């Protein structure tokens, strides 16, 4: 199976994460150059705080739950499972596999726990992260990291994924 060019989808994933931050009242900016280790910067200008966010995405709905990370020079890794359809399915799998994206908001220390030490690509696997499901749509982690008061646009425990 040849390599699939998903560069547009990867850029789209960065904009999706940026949009989620903005609609939650968190000022955020996209890096338009290749900065090693991060793609976005989220801020709290009132407190003079910021955090760097690396966005990693996977196109296929039936991917192996892993994504490569070369550098952990950030505070969060947001993994976006784009769920754009089946690519690796076995015969007999029903449906197209297209569904809404899933967002895993991982503090960098948790993302590091998921890295397979045998992987030449530095691949992080969700299955290696203890209780990975608790990070699904957990935008409140970034909100609290930046020091926003509870209730400021983002309610505590807001874990909506769409």
> How many Å apart are CA 131 and CA 2, to the nearest integer?
33
Convert the pLDDT of each residue in 119-132 to its tens digit: 988 999 999 999 99
Q: What per-residue confidence (pLDDT) applies to 84?
A: 85
H or E segment at 76?
strand 76-81
For β-strands 123-125 and 66-68, DSSP reports them as antiparallel
What are the Cα distances from residue 160, in Å, to 17, 40, 103, 108? 13, 20, 9, 21
How many angstroms separate the Cα of 31 from the Cα of each of 34, 117, 121, 136?
7, 29, 23, 24
Model confidence pLDDT, tens digit, residues 79-131: 999 998 887 765 555 677 888 999 999 999 999 999 999 998 899 999 999 99
User: Which domains are assigned to the chain?
Assistant: 7-145 (3.40.1350.10)
Res 95: pLDDT: 74
Query: Model pTM?
Result: 0.87
């Amino acid at each position: 199976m040849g390599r699939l060019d998903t560069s547009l989808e990867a850029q789209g994933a960065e904009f999706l994460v940026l949009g989620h931050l903005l609609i939650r009242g968190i000022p955020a900016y996209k890096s338009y150059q290749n900065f090693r280790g991060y793609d976005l910067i989220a801020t709290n200008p009132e407190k003079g705080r910021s955090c760097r966010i690396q966005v990693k995405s996977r196109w296929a709905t039936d991917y192996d739950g892993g994504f490569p990370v070369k550098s952990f020079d950030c505070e969060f890794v947001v993994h976006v499972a784009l769920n754009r359809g089946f690519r690796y399915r076995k015969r007999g799998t029903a449906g197209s596999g297209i569904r809404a994206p899933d967002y895993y908001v991982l503090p960098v220390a948790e993302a590091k726990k998921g890295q397979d030490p045998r992987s030449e690509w530095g691949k992080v696997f969700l299955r290696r992260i203890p209780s990975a499901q608790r990070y699904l749509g957990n935008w409140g982690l970034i909100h609290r990291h930046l020091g926003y008061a509870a209730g400021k646009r983002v309610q505590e425990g807001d874990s909506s994924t769409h």
